[in-house]
Amino acid sequence: MSRHYYEFFCPVKVIAGRAALEHIPYELTSIGAKRPMIVTDKGVRAAGLLDPVIATCEDSGLEIVCIFDDVPPDSSISVVRTIATLYRKEKCDSIIAVGGGSAIDTGKAVNILVSEGGDDLAKYSGAGVIKHPLNPFFVVPTTAGTGSEVTSVAVITDEEKGVKLPFTSSFLLPNAAIIDPRMTITLPPHITAATAMDAMTHSVEAFTCMAKNPLSDAYATAAIKKVSQFLPKVMNNPKDVDGRLELAQASTMAGIAFSNSMVGLVHALGHATGAICHLPHGLCMSLYLPYVLEYNLETVRQPLGELLLYLEGPEVYSATPSSRRAEASIAALRNMRNTLYQQCKLPRTLKESGEVTYDQLAAIAKMALDDGAIMFNPKEADLKDVRAVLENAWAG
């Protein structure tokens, strides 16, 4: 009898492509929502990204009842409470989160409060605490990397206690994710690069870590192929609408993959580095990916070798001996990082980032060791191992 077992779940309706935003009014009204609220941040609003969302709703006679545009990069319980109060005051019945990871996580957390009632968000923290479906919730991502539009997790800071509260429930999944290339076309090059490497890392870890499964594998490999093909094109021509759409879809596919297979040591290190040195998540992913793959190499040689097909295409794959494909996959990722460094100075090492000091490595290692993602890394890593990976990532 096979010992293999897996679970896979993604009920999010993905609405993707040109003029995807114009589907929002129909999709909202089809599930009975008539008074939507937009949750976003100032950067998104200043970039004019809300305009097409508002216009499309107005065209269809659907009023956006209110807009909260002050979500900070690290959202907190007090911000969530403020938005929930506004939602109730304006008698809203649905939320459209427009933005990156923080706006989306905030939208998820607000939806918990306004659906479940009360003001105590902390009591819903943890896994499986929410037992009922929440109010209609739509997500319009404005970066192509986090995959938050298809994940069942939100992280909100409790500023009084100084801790990050995780929320995990399938009820946090949005009703719909709207992927429209207009929302990412103005992303600056270094953010395009870092977020695409975030999606790449989600996919590579989904494909090589312990909870990989046939369905997450399919999404992960498709996402890797799209990032490999279209990131260079978009970096050369940022106004490439088709390329932007491909990257946005890759991000969503990578999100579906990793939320059903989990991630590993790259994320454990990235979470710790983000918390201690305040480096952006996508950049951390790009920094650590090759060094962690080198550490995991002998444990993941076979799946990592398979990825060469999606990273470099069939010619390179077939010309590379099977015994060298895993190393060639790592080399392909290193080449990708080198190109991005030349194009937008995306750092390749901790030292190059200029934001991390050598003295901080010990604290990063200690924190990474207690990160939940490390449980799914295919190779066991103790403090010495994690420190060794950090030493490699320090100066390359």
Partner 1 sequence: MATKHLRPLGSKAKRLYVNIMFQVIGRALQAVSEVDDEVCNEARSLPTGFLFQMMVMPKGAGLLIEHVGDGRFKYHRKEAPRPIDLSIKFKHLEHAFLVLSFQEKTSVAFANDRMLIDGDISYAVRMTRILNRLEVFILPKLVAERAVKAYPHNLQLPEKLISAARIYLKVATHFIKTARAS
Site for partner 1 in 177-236 (CB under 8 A): 209-211
Does 3 bind partner 1 (CB under 8 A)? Our answer is yes
Does 298 bind partner 1 (CB under 8 A)? Our answer is no
Locate 236 and state its tokens.
């050369």
Least CB distance from residue 226 to partner 1, whole Å? 26
Could you tell me how far CA 377 lies from the centroid of its own chain?
A: 18
Give the interface size with partner 1 as a residue count (CB under 8 A).
21
Does 26 bind partner 1 (CB under 8 A)? Our answer is no
- Cβ atoms of 91 and 30 within 8 Å: the answer is no
Pairing, β 13-16 against β 176-179: parallel
Site string for partner 1, 128-157 (x = CB under 8 A): x-----------------------------
Which residue's CB is nearer to partner 1, number 31 or number 210?
Answer: 210
Among residues 276, 316, 369, 388, the one that binds partner 1 under rule CB under 8 A: 369
- One-letter amino acid identity for 171? F
Stretch of 51-59, 80-88, 121-129, 273-281 lying at the interface with partner 1 (CB under 8 A):
121-129
- Cβ atoms of 95 and 39 within 8 Å: the answer is yes
Distance (Å, whole) CA 184 – CA 141: 8
Does 380 bind partner 1 (CB under 8 A)? Our answer is yes
Least CB distance from residue 376 to partner 1, whole Å? 6
Does 11 bind partner 1 (CB under 8 A)? Our answer is no
Phi, psi dihedrals of residue 145, rounded to the nearest 5° = -170, -45
Least CB distance from residue 362 to partner 1, whole Å? 15
Which residue's CB is nearer to partner 1, number 48 or number 166?
Answer: 166
Distance (Å, whole) CA 163 – CA 238: 38
Least CB distance from residue 381 to partner 1, whole Å? 9
CA distances from 363 to 277, 295, 356, 383 (A): 10, 20, 11, 11
Site for partner 1 in 72-111 (CB under 8 A): none
Sign of CA dihedral 166, 14, 139, 90: negative
Residues in the chain: 396
Q: Number of helices (H) and strands (E), helices first, in the chain? A: 16, 9
Query: Among candidates 106, 38, 110, which has minimal Cα distance to 73?
Result: 106
Does 376 bind partner 1 (CB under 8 A)? Our answer is yes
Among residues 7, 298, 315, 359, the one that binds partner 1 under rule CB under 8 A: 7
Q: For the sheet containing 94-99, what is the strand order?
A: 13-16, 176-179, 137-141, 94-99, 36-39, 66-68
Among residues 72, 73, 118, 126, the one that binds partner 1 under rule CB under 8 A: 126
Which helix (DSSP H) or strand (DSSP E) does residue 158 occupy? Answer: strand 153-158
Could you tell me how far CA 314 lies from the centroid of its own chain?
A: 28
Query: Among candidates 78, 36, 75, which has minimal Cα distance to 54?
Result: 36
Locate 268 and state its tokens.
């454990």
Distance (Å, whole) CA 369 – CA 387: 10
Which residue's CB is nearer to partner 1, number 206 or number 245?
Answer: 206
Among residues 160, 166, 236, 395, the one that binds partner 1 under rule CB under 8 A: 166
Which residue's CB is nearer to partner 1, number 298 or number 359?
Answer: 298
Least CB distance from residue 151 to partner 1, whole Å? 15
Stretch of 11-19, 172-180, 191-199, 369-377 lying at the interface with partner 1 (CB under 8 A):
369-377
Stretch of 177-185, 187-195, 313-321, 375-383 lying at the interface with partner 1 (CB under 8 A):
375-383
Among residues 262, 287, 336, 346, the one that binds partner 1 under rule CB under 8 A: 262
Stretch of 92-100, 186-194, 315-323, 376-384 lying at the interface with partner 1 (CB under 8 A):
376-384
Residue 214 burial (CB < 10 Å; 0-12/13-18/19+)? exposed
Distance (Å, whole) CA 210 – CA 139: 29
Which residue's CB is nearer to partner 1, number 6 or number 358?
Answer: 6
Among residues 2, 5, 89, 132, the one that binds partner 1 under rule CB under 8 A: 5
- State the residues that interact with partner 1 by CB under 8 A: 3, 5-7, 126-128, 166, 209-211, 262, 369-372, 374-376, 379-380
